[in-house]
Chain A
Amino acid sequence: MTDLVSPPDGIATNPPPASPASDKKIKTAKKTGALGIGGWIASIWLITLTAAAVFAPWLPLDDPAKTDFSVPKNNSSPFTAGHLLGTDNNGYDILARIVWGGRVSLVVAAGVLIIGMLVGGTIGLLAGFFRGKSETLLMASVDVFLAFPALILLIAIVAFLGADLLNVVLGISLVSIPAFARISRATTLTYAQREFVLAARAAGASQKRILVREILPNVILPLLAFGLLVVGIAIVAEGSLAFLGLTSTETISWGGMINGGKKPLQQDNIAHTAMIPAVTMFLTVLAVNVLGDRFRAAFDVKDSML
């Protein structure tokens, strides 16, 4: 804006000229968008990992189930010939097993996200919208699961149903449903009271239509942001089960790899067999959390601007 009439001396004009520092900040914020640099690194890490896991059978990797005894002591360190990340004490190629283990983490993450969000989200949505007896019933049945410590319940489920991947996914989903349901119900409660819901009713929309078209789009965003956090928790939960030896030994997973690296670490002071899968899991969970946080912040903007 240009001032047509210059103000008399001594009268402050606003706004004050923007300092170069704040200018720079705005520029970087614009360049990296809502994600920020951390968010970009996190997305690149996750995309690489996902792509590698999905295309694992076609990648030029060693067979993760093939032992290579040509390397000395079966525990070769990273960057040895033929094995970028070295081999473990069984002579397995660690890089190949990280990628194949990523498949398991991916399946667990996706499965838990879909099942937990569909079931938990629906329960919360219905409870928060219809209130009354159905709310009491739905939330009470969900709260029962909150009474058990999650990991103990998970171990019990896996022990009871058997330790294959499907049961692990189902078990973790079941444990995550109460959290999804509570968040979905809380968000639904706030939005169901908003005037635009009344406006939609006044325009002749049915209950079902209001729920699906007016409230759901508002509830799905916080639910997705929370879902990303749950993905991190699910990956760790699967790792914990595998580490404790409660999942099938046939399945290659990061938790199992850490477990396998325990002995070399304690007896022979060889760290990389345990550390590489541990760091991979740590970075993945961190990346998921960073992204979840960024998404939440990005969606909050819309509300705060209202």
Chain B
Amino acid sequence: MLTADTVHDGALLQVHDFRSYFDTPAGIVKAVDGVSFTLDRGDTLGIVGESGSGKTVLARSVMGLLTGKNVMRSGSARYNGIELVGASEKELRDLWGTEMAMVFQDPMTSLNPVLKTGRQITEGLRYHLQLSKSEARAQALQLLDSVGIPDPKRRISQYPHELSGGMRQRVTIAIALACGPKLLLADEPTTALDVTVQAQILDLLHQQQVERHMAMVLVTHDLGVVAGRTNHIAVMYAGQIVEYAPTTDLFANVRMPYTQALLHSIPKLAQPSHTRLQAIAGRPPDLINPPSGCRFAPRCPYVQPKCNSEMPPLQESETPGHLYRCWFPVGTEAGREALAHNTAAGMPAAVSITQILADPPGGTH
């Protein structure tokens, strides 16, 4: 067994130039293509992107859960110094559950329909921690209580279909937390839930994270979800990280046009009613043959000839730790010129962005 506690090099999870490709009959799908990030103990990283940007694949393949014969992983993902890429299923299994755990998107399908909730929680406790039946039950009751389930004594002997969606997600969180992982990967934990329950679940995750001094990767398509609850945000597009920054800095100084477009596509309370949402026109690129230049270029309001031919590197802005992947970043002279040029040429995306920037709906942004 790999002993995780012997190695301490600061960061808990170090992902470097990580790639996850799928070999399909149509070609090789580059679902995750050269992603690097570092997650410190107790910190939260938000991974944001639209559907198909590779965020779920990133979370699952970093953990090593994708084991199909057509999955190709390369690069490096080190958990507490242990290399996860290339580790055997058996070595990974020693980490799963006890060191790292995952909360899934849909609590309707991530719980076993024919097993009582109690049994699903005690399963891991008895297996990993070798607790006796009664000890595991006591622990499960305590866990259910800590994730805010009222009357745990009754709930523990109920089946998943007897619980509401929010309660089921609380149960999956309890299962994930059962063996005290140091890293929690939450894969769109609130997407399948009612809006009123979303905030509760996010608060619960945050509270548990603080109590347990646990690091968390929060995968979501909603910038609003990660805004107040993360230390860093990585914006993903077409399998790459296009912007990576401390949360406050990202919202204050957006550099990447894609992030800007994402921000403008969220409705704001200050906007007058019936304001049209700024959708991002077009679709994410084909990941089998991605564009050779910047992958966002076909949809970007700032696009210039250079963008279509050369892929921009991930470069650091004047704020340390703020990385972005753009030739004509937002908020710089080059970016302003590019946008003005496109607006003058009558490019619809550029025109609408220019309008919003000139006359921010409902005040400043």
* Chain A interfacial positions (CB closer than 8 Å to B): 194-196, 198-206, 209, 213-214, 217-218, 221, 302-303, 305-306
Q: Return the 4 tightest CB-CB contacts between A and B, nearest first.
A: A204-B97, A204-B96, A195-B109, A203-B97
* CB-based contact B96/A201 at 8 Å: yes
Determine whether the beta carbon of A199 is less than 8 Å from that of B175: yes
7 more contacts with CB within 8 A, not counting A203-B178, A214-B115, A218-B112, are: A199-B110, A199-B172, A200-B123, A201-B96, A202-B96, A203-B176, A204-B95
Q: Are B65 and A196 within 8 A (Cβ)?
A: no
A213 to B114, CA, bound (A): 10
Binds A, one of B100-108, B147-155, B243-251, B274-282: B100-108
Some 22 contacts from A to B, beta carbons below 8 A apart, are A195-B106, A196-B110, A196-B111, A198-B104, A198-B110, A199-B102, A199-B110, A199-B111, A202-B97, A203-B101, A203-B123, A203-B179, A204-B94, A204-B98, A204-B124, A204-B179, A205-B124, A206-B93, A213-B115, A217-B114, A221-B114, A306-B109
**Is the Cβ of B96 less than 8 Å from the Cβ of A305?**
no
Residue among B93, B101, B111, B176 with the most chain A CB within 10 A?
A: B93
Q: Whole-angstrom distance between the alpha carbons of A196 and B104 in the complex?
A: 9
Please, which residue of chain B has its CB at the minimum distance from the CB of A215? Answer: B112
Which residue on A lies nearest to B92, using beta carbons?
A: A204
How far is A229 from B96 in the complex, measured between Cα atoms in Å? Answer: 42
Q: Which of B114, B123, B159, B172 has the most CB of A within 10 A?
A: B114
Q: Decide if B128 is an interface residue (CB 8 Å cutoff).
A: yes
**A202 partner residues in chain B, CB cutoff 8 A:** 63, 65, 96-97, 101-102, 176
Q: Once the chains are docked, how many angstroms separate the CA of A194 from the CA of B95?
A: 22
Q: Assess whether B98 is in contact with A198, with CB atoms less than 8 Å apart.
A: no
Residue of A nearest to B66 (CB): A198
| A198 to chain B: closest residue by CB | B65
Closest to B161 in A: A305
How many Å lie between the Cα of A168 and that of B113 in the bound state?
Answer: 38
Closest beta carbon of chain A to B190's beta carbon, Å? 16
Given contacts A195-B106, A199-B172, A302-B161, contact A204 B127 (CB under 8 A): yes
Whether B118 sits at the interface, judged by CB under 8 Å, is no
> B127 near A209 (CB under 8 angstroms)?
yes
Cβ of A2 to closest chain B Cβ, rounded Å? 23
CA distance A194 to B109 in the complex (A): 7
- B160 contacts A by Cβ under 8 Å: yes
B89 to chain A, nearest CB (A): 8
Kindly list chain B residues whose C-beta atoms are within 8 Å of the C-beta of A204.
Answer: 93-98, 124, 127-128, 179
The 8 A CB mask of B246-273 against A (1 = contact, 0 = none) is: 0000000000000000000000000000
B175 proximity list for chain A (CB < 8 A)? 199, 203
Chain B CB within 10 Å, residue with most, of A201, A204, A218, A306: A204
Cβ–Cβ contact B172 & A203, under 8 A:
no
* A199 (CB) vs chain B CBs: closest residue: B110
CA of A217 to CA of B115, assembled, Å:
8
List, in ascending order, chain A residues with CB within 8 A of B98's CB. 204
Chain B nearest CB from A121 CB (Å) reads 16
Residues of A within 8 A of B112 (CB): 196, 200, 214, 217-218
CA distance A200 to B96 in the complex (A): 10
Contact A218–B123 (Cβ < 8 Å): no
Cα distance A61–B28 in the bound complex, in angstroms: 76
Nearest CB in chain B: distance from A191 CB, A: 9
Q: How far is the CB of A230 from chain B (nearest CB, A)?
A: 22
- The residue on A at minimum CB distance from B93 is A204
Inter-chain contacts of A221 with B (CB < 8 A)? 114
Contact B104 A199 (CB under 8 A): yes
Check A306–B93 contact: CB distance below 8 A.
no
What separation, in Å, do the CA atoms of A213 and B115 have in the docked complex? 9
CB proximity of A270 to chain B, nearest CB, Å: 53
Q: Are B127 and A303 in contact (CB under 8 A)?
A: no
B130 CB to nearest A CB, Å: 13
Check if B97 sits within 8 Å of A218, measured CB to CB: no
Q: How far is the CA of A221 from the CA of B94 in the complex (A)?
A: 32
B363 to chain A, nearest CB (A): 37
Question: B113 near A218 (CB under 8 angstroms)?
Answer: yes
Bound-state Cα–Cα, A192 to B93, Å? 18
Minimum distance in angstroms from A176 CB to a CB of chain B? 24
> Smallest CB–CB gap between B115 and chain A, Å?
6
Residues from chain A with Cβ under 8 Å of B63 in the complex:
202
Cα-based distance from A218 to B98 in the complex (angstroms): 26
- Residues of chain A within 8 A of B111, CB atoms compared: 196, 199
B182 CB, nearest partner CB in chain A, Å: 14
Would you call B97 and A302 a contact (CB within 8 A)? no
Residue-wise, chain B 43-66 has the 8 Å CB interface mask toward A (1 for contact) of 000000000000000000001010
Q: Which residues of A contact B106 (CB under 8 A)?
A: 195
- Interface positions of B from 174 to 211, Cβ below 8 Å from A: 175-176, 178-179
A-chain residues with CB within 8 Å of residue B172 when the two chains form the complex? 199
Assembly CA distance A305 to B124 (angstroms)? 26
> In the assembled complex, which residues on chain B have CB atoms less than 8 Å from the CB atom of A196?
109-113
